[in-house]
Structure 1
Amino acid sequence: MFKEIISYRQMLISIVRRDLRSRYKGSFLGFLWTFINPLLQLIVYSIVFPYLLRMNQENYPMFLFVALLPWIFFVTSVQSATTSIVGGANLVKKIYFPRVILPLSVVCTNLMNYIYGLVIVFSALLLTGVHLTLNVLWLPVVLLTLFLFALGLALNLSALYVRFRDLEHIVGVVTFVWFYVTPIVFPITIFPQKMADIIGYNPMVPIINSFRNILLYGKQPEWGALMYSLVVGIILLTIGTWVFRKSEKTFAEDL
């Protein structure tokens, strides 16, 4: 599969470029919405959430923002990739290409959107008095861990969705609940210790904490916890590769 992706890399790049361009096609501000959306989110969260949640978290807007953007990357990738094979049915039934290009392109497109959004993140951190340290160089490691985890889920779900169309709704419900058992809008310390230990098995917890450690606190990730998420991501990617390869033989017939 990896060799096929390399052989068809130009197709992958073309799809990602097309998706990035078409996302805001026809709008007056066009690609600037990539930066305006996270900026507007930051303004809203800065004003609304501290009053709604009545939290004493220091620099709460950035506490929330540095965790929310990778979550948006993750959940958008998983939800959009789930329907990517069905959405690309015309291509799947007409020409040969590695079908894995479709879910992979979705994850790559959202990765690029997150990277562009980092312009707003870094600017906001500096404006709110957060000093970036050399530990920011660990950001690609954390981002790679998140990418592999998202891609592993994307491969599994996109292959299964071709036959089980209810999966789209199940994924929506699961990610909704998942959001609230991941410390994004609140620190994990609000939970009793036993519950916090259970929530810690959620692979997104070490990933979100790592983004905060690097960007907000200027510290290295907690490597043991992050390694757990990386191992889970690799396992999911391995299973997803097997499920996808086994299922893609009948994609054209099932569609």
Structure 2
Amino acid sequence: MNNQTQIILILLVPIFIGAIIAIINHNKINDITERIELWFRNSLANTKTKNGKFNKFIIYPIVWLIVKFSDWTDGFSHRGLKNGVRTSAILYLTISWFLLIIYSFAFLLMLAFSIAVVYFILKIIFNSDNSTSKTLVTETNTYNSQKQQNTFETIGTHGKKIYSGSNWFNEELKGRVDEEGNIYSGTNFFNEEKIGRISDDGTIFKGSNYFNEEKVGRINKDGSLHKGSNWFNEEKTGRIDNNGNIHKGTSWLNEEKTGRLGD
């Protein structure tokens, strides 16, 4: 016996039960089924007086269907046939209703789980970009006491560490650029994070991976730093001299040292 045959036999069980009740037409069996019908009618009356959502959306609909079907079978003159049809209908309606509820809850759980997974993935993607503006072309440090901003360039060349500061006395390590051009912020291996990369042609990208990165600037062969995503909106923001010093400014007249590259 294959699975399909077993399913068909299970679905026919309520019909077999109803047919047996109708054929036997025994008074005691009919009395039991009619008491069950009376219980459903009383339950319908009690459910109408309750305001709970479970009673309103779960219990009341199935009880109402059973009572309405029982009203239709009241027209049968044969008592056994009436109770047999009623019993089969009650079994089918009850099983179908609870299966519908189970599958509905399963669907809602899967939907909620899917939404949670998508939200978690999007949160990871967008959070990886939440502080990248402090890197690559400019980085802003906010001092809580004065709310002042100290902006410095954080562009480096491959295999170099990035320091901020105008001289040896006030400089501090801010990050590094590895041999492959990946840009990291942080002072050591334990707290550093990838914030961008510099391609072989000098294009500067911000982002923690290839999926969320975007172009933010470029470095010319002469060390000039440019901010912008294309030739139309880019502007010069500084330069890196031959000694690895990072300068902020658009020309020699207004530039100032804001950091350096070193080992």
TM range (shorter): under 0.3
In our comparison, the structure showing a higher alpha carbon Rg is 2
The structure whose residues are more often strand, as a share, is 2
Query: Higher relative contact order at CA 8 Å, sep ≥6: structure 1 or structure 2?
Result: 1
The structure whose residues are more often helix, as a share, is 1
TM normalised by structure 2 equals 0.21
TM normalised by structure 1 equals 0.21
